[in-house]
Structure 1
Amino acid sequence: MTLRLQPISRAEHLAFVASRASVSHMQVPSWGDVKPDWRAESLGWFDAQGRIVGAGLVLLRPLPKVKRYLAYLPEGPVIDWHDPDLRRWLDPLLAHLKGQGAFSVKMGPPVAIRRWSAEAVKAAIADPGARRLRDAEATSYEPHAFDIADRLRRMGWRQTEPGTEEGFAAGQPRYVFQVPFAGRSLDDIHRGLNQQWRRNIKKAEKAGVEVVRGGYEDLPVFYGLYAETAERDRFIPRPLSYFQRMWTALAAEHPDRMRLYLAHHEGDVLAAATMLVVGSHVWYSYGASTSRKREVQPNNAMQWRMMTDAHRLGAAVYDFRGITDTLEESNHLLGLLRFKAGAGGEAVEYLGEWDFPLNRLLHRALDVYMARR
């Protein structure tokens, strides 16, 4: 059965998202408004009866000095990835984007490959023979995911390593940490925290740490902590305007799409974080904290409040987003992995991102350009 692909309205796109159990926050129409340097388009796949059966948000970024585009579907598209005939989904997508002037297409299939329990992650970190997470035995595998990867390769797609989303180096994390909430009470989730987390939550409560929800007007406070975090953890921070634009765009689509939390202690804001919500999937998006007063454990207190609120919202999963897969002690991100693993749950490896060069010369030129930056 062939499928028809065509642009769809925001309303059609949102209606389809609402019909799905889980869709990435980067695959809702408002995410295009967060990325002003990209031109956004909502696409829909229709069956023979005219019903929408798949959707995708595509971002188009112009190549400097040439009217050609990199087309990017972050953590998408939202299609039936287990269909034995993926061509009927992806061939119309490539044809449409080629007609739009795209020289290359990048996508991130939302398909999990492997999962490691928190205990398996802890054991892998302690194992001197495990240099990367993939060196450790996974707790569970998704056998169909490997078949999907093989079919994509046969169709001409090629797997890429995640980037930093600086300029053209668009990329999302291949490894994330998630805490399953479905079918679990809040007490169950609390029991799943490791002893250090439970102790720190209690310590923050005794010290008088108060976690509150903030609004748009509190974003500069969040940003001050975020800039300090960027300097401490050695990453390039986004500008304040990015978070203001994100808040405005997401809130216009849904009043509860984005939340801001702030951890207060005796008049000081010690930590802050953003939380994103799409259906039953909740993400801890951006976190920030100061080095001062760490002994009162504001980060654990803030995360527990966010997890509690996510559970009240009916979340099926609380997503801590990206983690490093490098387990060597010299890796400065290993502490963050330990922190996230302390919440229980599991590390999840996704299929990663895949490229399809529509114009091999321009695609190769982009690779050379990015390698020299």
Structure 2
Amino acid sequence: MSYRLKAISREEHLDFIRSLVSVSHMQIPSWGDVKPDWRAESLGWFDDSGRLVGAGLVLMRPLPKVKRYLAYLPEGPTIDWSAPDVERWLEPMLAYLKERGAFSVKMGPPVVARRWSAEAVKVAIADPRAQRLRDVEATEHEPRAFDIADRLRRMGWQQTEPGREDSFSAGQPRYVFQVSLAGRSLDEVWSGLNQQWRRNVKKAQKAGVKVLQGDYEELPAFYSLYVETAERDRFSPRPLDYFQRMWKVLRAEDPNRMRLYLAHHEGDVLAAATMLTVGGHVWYSYGASTSRKREVQPNNAIQWRMMSDAHELEADIYDFRGITDALSEDNHLLGLLRFKVGSGGQAVEYLGEWDYPLNKVLHKALDFYISRR
């Protein structure tokens, strides 16, 4: 079967997404509005009968001083990755983007390669010989992922490590942590938390921590904590207007697409987080907290409230997003991994991001530009 690819409307794109169980929040039309520095376009794959069978949000950004574009499909496209002829899906995409002026294409196939249970990750962290999660025996393997990777390499795609999302080396986490909610009661989800998590949630409740949903007007309160978190955890914060724009455009598409949660204690906001929802997939997107009053455990409280609300929304997955792959004790992100492991979920490795250089000279120039930033 051959596939025809063309631009589709936002409405067509949204209708297709609604027909699926799970699609990345970075593959919905409104995500292009979150990224004004990129030119966004919705693409559709049509079969021989004219039926829309695949879709993708592509973000286009020009190389400085050159009217050629990096084309990026974060955590996409949304096509049938299990098909034995994945080449027939990707070849028309490459041809279309080349005509649109792309010199390089980056994509992130939403394909799971391996999974590690919470217990397996816990054992790996405690093992001084384990330096990387990727080197530890996985609890589950997805054989088709490795077949897809081989097919991509034969086509000329090059696998890359994730980079910084706010630069040309745009990248999303290859390793994430997820809690399965499908087919489980909330009591079963609660029982899946480790003893420390359950103790901390109860401690927060006893101390009087109240987790409430916030509105647009409370984004500055979230942002104040976010800036403090950025300084403490050594990352560059996004500006406030990024979150304000995110709130407006995502909720304009679907009022339930983005939520804000704030943990209050005796008049103080101690923690805040954003939650995104697309179909049966819920993401903990951005989190922030203060160093004050950590003893009342606001972070556990806010996460349990979000997991409970995700369960009420009948979500299949609660996604904690990125985790570190490095397990050494000197890694400042190891504490965050330990925190997420306490939720009783799974570490999940995706196939990672892949580049296709349509123009090798300009692609090398892009690599040079990135190395100088």
Q: Compute the TM-score of the two structures, normalised by the length of structure 2.
A: 1.00
Task: Name the CA distance, whole Å, in 1 between partners of 2:65 and 2:135.
Answer: 44
The corresponding residue for 2:163 is 163
SS in structure 2 at match of 1:30? helix
Matched, 1:59 2:50: no
Match of 1:322 in 2: 322
What is the alpha-carbon distance in structure 2 between the residues aligned to residue 371 and residue 33 of structure 1?
Answer: 28
Matches within 5 A, 1:67-216: 67-216=67-216
Aligned partner letter, 1:278: V
- Residues 189-244 of structure 1: CA distance to partner in whole angstroms, max 9, x if unpaired? 00000000000000000000000000111000000000000000000000000000
**Structure 2 partner of 1:238:** 238
Q: Which amino acid in structure 1 is aligned with residue 89 of structure 2?
A: W
The residue aligned with 2:302 is: 302
Aligned equivalents of 1:147, 1:128: Cα separation in 2: 32
Q: Counterpart in 2 of 1:363?
A: 363
363-372 or 224-233, which deviates more:
363-372
Structure 1 residue 65: deviation in Å? 1.0
Corresponding residue number in structure 2 for 1:346:
346
In 2, Cα distance between equivalents of 1:149 and 1:169? 21
Aligned equivalents of 2:144 and 2:167: distance in 1? 33
Tell me which residue corresponds to 2:255.
Answer: 255
Matches of 1:182 and 1:86, distance apart in 2: 29
The separation in 1 between residues aligned to 2:358 and 2:348, in whole angstroms, is: 31
**SS of equivalent residue, structure 1 residue 217:** helix
Q: Deviation per CA, 1:86-120: give whole Å up to 9, x if none.
A: 11100100000000000000000000000000000
Distance 1:332 1:317 in 2: 27
The runs of 5 or more residues in structure 2 that have no matched partner are none
Partners of 2:50 and 2:341 in 1: CA distance: 45
Q: Could you say what secondary structure the match of 2:29 adopts? A: coil
Q: What amino acid is the match of 1:27? A: Q
The residue aligned with 1:4 is 4
Matched, 1:13 2:13: yes
Query: Counterpart of 1:23 in 2: which secondary structure?
Result: coil
Deviation at 1:269, TM superposition (A): 0.1
Q: How many residues align?
A: 373
SS at match of 2:104: strand
SS in 1 for 2:45: strand
Other-structure match for 2:22: 22
For 2:188 and 2:137, the matched residues in 1 are separated by: 26
Instruction: Quote the offset at 1:372 in angstroms.
Output: 1.8
Q: Secondary structure at the match of 1:231?
A: helix
Q: CA deviation at 1:369?
A: 1.2
Could you give the per-residue CA deviations for residues 259-281 of structure 1, whole angstroms, max 9, x where no partner exists? Answer: 00000000000000000000000
**Deviations for 1:277-304, whole angstroms, at most 9, x for unmatched residues?**
0000000000000000000000000000
- What is the distance in 1 between the residues matched to 2:99 and 2:369? 24
Task: Give the TM-score normalised by structure 1.
Answer: 1.00
- After TM superposition, give the deviation of residue 134 of structure 1 in Å: 1.2
Supply the distance in 2 between the matched residues of 1:99 and 1:302 (Cα, whole angstroms).
Answer: 47
SS of 2:145's equivalent in the other structure is helix
Percentage of pairs with the same residue: 78
Code of the aligned partner of 2:181: F
What displacement does 1:135 show? Answer: 1.6
Deviation at 1:367, TM superposition (A): 0.4
Residue 167 of structure 1, CA deviation: 2.1
Matched, 1:37 2:4: no
Quote the Cα distance in structure 1 between the aligned partners of 2:216 and 2:69. Answer: 33
Specify the SS of the correspondent of 1:56: strand
User: Gapped runs of 5+ residues in structure 1?
Assistant: none
Query: Tell me, what secondary structure is at the counterpart of 1:21?
Result: coil
Residue 265 of structure 1 aligns with an amino acid whose one-letter code is H
**Alignment partners' CA distance in 2, 1:335 and 1:370:** 29
Give distance in 2, aligned partners of 1:168 and 1:337.
27
Whole-Å separation in 2 of the counterparts to 1:166 and 1:206: 40
| Whole-Å separation in 2 of the counterparts to 1:186 and 1:84 | 38
Alpha-carbon distance between aligned partners in 2 of 1:117 and 1:167, rounded to the nearest angstrom:
33
**SS of match in other structure, 2:310:** helix
Cα distance, 1:252 vs structure 2: 0.6
Q: In structure 1, what is the Cα distance between the partners aligned to 2:371 and 2:6?
A: 35
How far apart, in 2, do the equivalents of 1:7 and 1:293 lie?
Answer: 51
| Distance in 1 separating the partners of 2:265 and 2:364 | 52
Query: What is the rounded CA distance, in whole Å, between the counterparts of 1:125 and 1:167 in structure 2?
Result: 31
CA apart distance, 1:3 = 0.5
The CA distance in 2 between the partners of 1:366 and 1:343, in whole Å, is 40
1:222 counterpart residue number: 222
CA distance in 2, matches of 1:56, 1:85: 18
Shift of 1:139: 0.4
Q: RMSD over aligned Cα, in angstroms?
A: 0.5
